[in-house]
Amino acid sequence: MLMKATARGPEVKTGGITLHNLQKRYGSAVAVDEVSLSVSPGEFVSLLGPSGSGKTTTLMMIAGFEMPDSGKVLLDDLDITRLPPHRRELGVIFQNYALFPHMTVAENVAYPLQMRRVAKAEVEARVSRALDQVDLGTLASRRPHQMSGGQQQRVAIARALVFDPPVLLLDEPLGALDKKLREHLRNEIKTLRKTVGKTMIYVTHDQDEALAMSDRVAVMHQGRIRQVSAPRDLYRRPADLFVAGFVGEVNLIPVKLKSGIAYGPAGERLAAGPWTEADTDATLCVRPEHLHLDRGAAGSSAGLQGRITGMTFVGDATIFEFRSESGLQLTSKVLNVSGQAMPDVGDLCAGSWGANDATILAK
């Protein structure tokens, strides 16, 4: 087996994945463009991006089902770029589960072990342990069509776990499920990850999922990785306008930077910073939950002066539409806390935010 062949001491954690300048074209279209990424042993990294951004192609190159045109895939310090999938010893969970319909749950999970010619008694023990890990111990003799989508998904996870690979690759594993089940399985995968301690690379286009589950998130767009950061940093400090707009909601305010001040469209002073350039165009990004609308400061020289033009109750929060005198249309989100006085449509307000809650991005 690959991992044993590397003859490491038992204290050394394995399962680090490194991608070096991976490139993949289909005809003249570039699906994956110079992707480099280092995933540490035991780390959970998501590939997050819109449809067609190259997530699956990247994952399939790691798994060995696609060959890169150039670049390398390393498992720890071993170059696996040209190894066939079954010799990489990576657990892969495909979006459509890909269970064998004519086999029982136990037979499905046993399959990778039989492929590896593991002895019968050991197969039984390992299948039973893998099914327990995903809480399916009692359904071993069912067939896939007798199970719910979430249960089938867990069989697919058990089948990927059963041969104890150092790395699990998951391609939108929860995509086909309803919201409740998705959230439930999201927590199960998080728990599972703690118990099995494996490196996980997780493809999703769902930003909530990526933020909630990952140690780090790699945001992909048009085949490239735009930013790799911990969820909190990705949200609070997006590296560019694409990431700012793709991860969470954001207000984008065009500003001019002049000797340390960001000026709004009507010449309002909106932020102070270390910029020294004269007259640079930039964009100031403020999340809706950071935009405070204050009736008390209306008419003063503070922040952005304007009026509330719309209000929507969304359960846990109220979303305000705010139009500044300079013509900006912005969104503010306020959590619904009982006893709190809320502004109303038509009210004059000043819009403001904390100095650390805005990000300025170059055009």
How far is it, in rounded angstroms, from Cα 78 to Cα 21?
16
Residue from the set 16, 42, 49, 248 that interacts with ligand ATP by CB under 6 A: 49
The option from ligand ATP, Mg ion, none interacting with 227 (CB < 5 to 8 A, set by class) reads none
* 26 versus 100: smaller Cβ distance to ligand ATP: 26
* 26 versus 313: smaller Cβ distance to ligand ATP: 26
**Shortest Å distance, C-beta 168 to Mg ion:** 17
* 48 versus 293: smaller Cβ distance to Mg ion: 48
Q: Is 41 in the site for ligand ATP (CB under 6 A)?
A: no
- Which two three-digit tokens encode residue 230? 């911990």
Binding marks (x or -) toward ligand ATP, 146..185, rule CB under 6 A?
----------------------------------------
Q: Is 53 in the site for ligand ATP (CB under 6 A)?
A: yes
Burial 275-309 (b: 16+ CB within 10 A, else e): beeeeeebbbbbbbbbbbbeeebbeeeebbbbbbe
Q: Is 46 in the site for ligand ATP (CB under 6 A)?
A: no
Helix, strand, or coil (residue 345): coil
Residues lying near Mg ion in the complex (CB under 5 A):
56
- In degrees to the nearest 10, what's the CA dihedral of 168, 174, 176, 179? 180
Give the contacts of 26 (CB within 8 A, at least 6 positions apart): none
Residue from the set 39, 42, 46, 56 that interacts with ligand ATP by CB under 6 A: 56
260 exposure class (CB count in 10 Å sphere: 0-12, 13-18, 19+): exposed
Residue from the set 55, 126, 159, 221 that interacts with ligand ATP by CB under 6 A: 55
* 24 versus 126: smaller Cβ distance to Mg ion: 24
Classify strands 70-75 and 17-26 as parallel, antiparallel or unpaired.
antiparallel
Q: Which residues bind ligand ATP (CB under 6 A)?
A: 26, 29, 31, 49, 51-57, 205
